Each structure stands twice: as structure tokens, then as C-alpha cells.
């Protein structure tokens, strides 16, 4: 049985709460919807609280929280494969009522771009997804991404380049009306 450690709640809040927006934004990009993003952030904060004693350097709190969030996301993705798929995701649309004079099709058309980008992000392997999210959506530098993911800067740059290529190719296919990506097999994976 694990022993419980006393946590300085004031210090925990002081160090972690300033990073909640960052965590939520990353969780939203990972999960694709606000409900799962909120759950992911909540799980992250709970784990961070329980393991607060493991934080060695206060200035690295943000990257420490990111690693916890990423770990929870990857765990969820592995478990998702084992769960039955119960909803196609469109069931709620018939219950949507237009607000402020807007029609439902117009509302969906405005959201289409974000939804399409999220769908493409969903099929990109995580090792390319994380650098893309951190660089383009969180405005992090190569150095910061390197530290967060614990990989060399050269690897960050190559993963960004390959991730952008996947995004571009899939956006072009979808613009033409043909989505070809079912499962992405990275070139490096072909050689061992």
C-alpha cells in the first residue's frame, strides 16, 4: 500500500494553476472535444497533486504537467481500443436548435475547418501530433518542445516537417473529396 504524502496545497496551487489554460488547450487538441479535454486536465491535476513530491525543479512545472497529461492521453488511447464504439458522433445534431437566428447548417459550416483539422490530427501518430500541437497551437520553440518531449532538437524539427507533410497531404485529399489515410505508416517504421 502506498504511503500518502503531505502536499503543501498553497504551493501546489501557486505552481500549477498558472498552467491550467495551457493544459486545457493541449488536451483539447489531443482529444478533440471540450468534455474529454476537461476530464484529461482533471486527471492530470489529480495525478500532479498525488505526485507533487516528484517535482524536482519548480521552473519545470509546466513541462512536468505536460508529461503527465500526455501520459494520461496515451493511456486513454490504448484503452479506447478495448471499448465498444457506441455513438457515431452525429446523434446529437438532430437535437440542436439554432440560436441567435443562425441555421444549423451555417453553424456546422463555420465549424467544418476546425473539425476537419481535428480529424486529421486524430489519425496522425502521436509522435508527430505532439510537436505540431506544441509548435503551432502553443507557440513553443524547438528548444521548449525538445525539453517537454525529452527528444533532441533535430528530432523535433524532423517530426514537425513530417507532421506538416501528413497534414498537407490529407488536407489536399479532403479538399478533393477523397480521404485516403486509414492508418499512417511512418517511413522510419518500414526499416525496423
pLDDT, position 42: 92
d(C-alpha 60, C-alpha 55), whole Å: 8
Burial of 128 (0-12, 13-18, 19+ CB in 10 A): buried
Domain, as residue range, for 114: 110-177
Q: In sequence order, what are the residues at sequence separation of 6 or more whose Cβ sits closer than 8 angstroms to the Cβ of residue 124?
A: 132, 163, 166, 167, 184
| C-alpha cell recorded at residue 26 | 493541449
Q: Does residue 66 sit in the same domain as residue 125?
A: no
Q: Is the dihedral of CA 65, 71, 77, 82 positive or negative?
A: negative
Start-end of H helices in the chain: 9-16, 20-31, 34-50, 61-80, 104-123, 126-132, 142-149, 153-176, 187-190
Domain count for the chain, please give it: 2
d(C-alpha 120, C-alpha 116), whole Å: 6
Nearest to 130 by CA among 121, 120, 119: 121
Residue 185 placed within a domain: no
Q: What is the mean pLDDT of each run of 10 residues along the chain (192 residues)?
A: 68 92 91 87 92 90 93 84 55 48 45 69 86 86 88 89 84 65 45 39
Residue 71 placed within a domain: yes
Residue 93 placed within a domain: no
| Maximum distance among all Cα pairs of the chain, rounded to whole angstroms | 58
CATH of the domain at 146: 1.10.10.10
pLDDT, position 83: 59
Residue 182 placed within a domain: no
CATH of the domain at 65: 1.10.1740.10
pLDDT, position 89: 52
Residue 133 placed within a domain: yes
pLDDT, position 107: 43
| C-alpha cell recorded at residue 150 | 525529452
d(C-alpha 146, C-alpha 153), whole Å: 5
Q: What is the DSSP letter of 33?
A: S
Residue 100 placed within a domain: no
d(C-alpha 70, C-alpha 40), whole Å: 9
Amino acid at each position: 500500500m502506498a504511503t500518502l504524502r503531505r502536499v503543501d496545497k498553497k504551493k501546489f496551487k501557486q505552481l500549477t494553476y498558472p498552467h491550467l489554460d495551457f493544459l486545457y488547450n493541449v488536451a483539447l487538441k489531443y482529444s478533440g472535444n471540450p468534455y474529454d479535454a476537461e476530464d484529461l486536465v482533471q486527471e492530470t491535476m489529480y495525478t500532479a497533486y498525488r505526485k507533487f513530491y516528484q517535482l524536482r525543479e519548480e521552473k519545470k512545472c509546466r513541462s512536468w504537467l505536460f508529461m503527465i497529461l500526455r501520459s494520461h492521453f496515451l493511456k486513454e488511447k490504448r484503452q479506447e481500443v478495448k471499448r465498444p464504439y457506441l455513438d457515431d458522433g452525429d446523434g446529437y445534431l438532430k437535437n440542436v436548435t439554432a440560436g441567435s437566428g443562425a441555421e444549423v447548417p451555417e453553424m456546422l459550416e463555420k465549424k467544418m475547418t476546425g473539425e476537419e483539422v481535428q480529424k486529421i490530427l486524430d489519425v496522425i501518430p502521436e509522435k508527430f501530433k505532439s510537436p505540431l500541437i506544441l509548435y503551432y497551437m502553443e507557440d513553443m520553440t524547438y528548444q521548449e518542445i525538445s525539453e517537454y518531449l525529452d527528444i533532441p532538437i533535430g528530432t523535433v524539427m524532423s517530426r514537425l516537417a513530417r507532421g506538416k507533410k501528413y497534414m498537407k497531404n490529407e488536407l489536399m485529399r479532403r479538399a478533393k473529396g477523397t480521404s485516403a489515410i486509414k492508418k499512417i505508416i511512418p517511413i522510419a517504421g518500414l526499416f525496423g
